[in-house]
A = this chain, B = another copy of it.
Amino acid sequence: MPQTQHAERHFRASQAVRDIVIGMADGLTVPFALAAGLSGAVVSSHIITTAGLAEIAAGSIAMGLGGYLAARGDAEHYDRELQREQQEVQTVPDEEAAEIVEVFKAYGISPEQCAPVVAALCKDRDSWVRFMMRFELGLEQPEPRRATQSAVTIACAYIAGGLIPIAPYFIVSGVTEALPYSIAVTLSALAVFGYVKGGYTGTAPLRSAIQTLLIGGTAAAAAFILARAIS
Interface residues of A (CB under 8 A from B): 1-4, 7, 10-11, 14, 18, 21-22, 25-26, 29-30, 32-34, 37-38, 41-42, 46-47, 49-51, 53-55, 57-59, 61-63, 65-66, 69-70, 73, 76-77, 80, 99, 102-110, 112-117, 119-121, 124, 127-128, 130-131, 134-138, 140, 201-203, 211-212, 214-216, 218-220, 222-224, 226-227, 230-231
Q: Name the B residues within 8 Å of A2 (CB-CB).
A: 102
A58 to chain B: closest residue by CB: B33
Q: How many copies of the shown chain assemble into the complex? A: 2
Residues of B within 8 Å of A108, CB to CB, are 120-121, 124, 127
Among the listed B1, B202, B227, which residue makes an inter-chain contact with A50, where contact means beta carbons less than 8 Å apart?
Answer: B227
Q: Are B41 and A58 in contact (CB under 8 A)?
A: no
Q: Are A3 and B99 in contact, CB atoms less than 8 angstroms apart?
A: yes
CB <8 Å contact, B117 and A223: no
Decide: A138 and B136 in contact? CB cutoff 8 A: no
Q: Check A120 against B113 for contact (C-beta < 8 Å).
A: yes
For A65, give its contact among B18, B130, B218 (CB under 8 Å). B218
Q: How far is the CA of A34 from the CA of B58 in the complex (A)?
A: 7
Q: Check B38 against A73 for contact (C-beta < 8 Å).
A: no
Contact between chains at B121 and A62 (CB < 8 Å): no
Contacts of A38 in B (CB 8 A): 47, 50-51, 54
> Could you write out 22 A-B pairs with CB less than 8 Å apart?
A7-B138, A21-B66, A21-B70, A22-B70, A25-B62, A26-B59, A26-B62, A26-B63, A37-B51, A41-B50, A41-B54, A55-B223, A57-B226, A61-B218, A65-B214, A65-B215, A66-B215, A76-B201, A76-B202, A107-B131, A113-B116, A134-B138
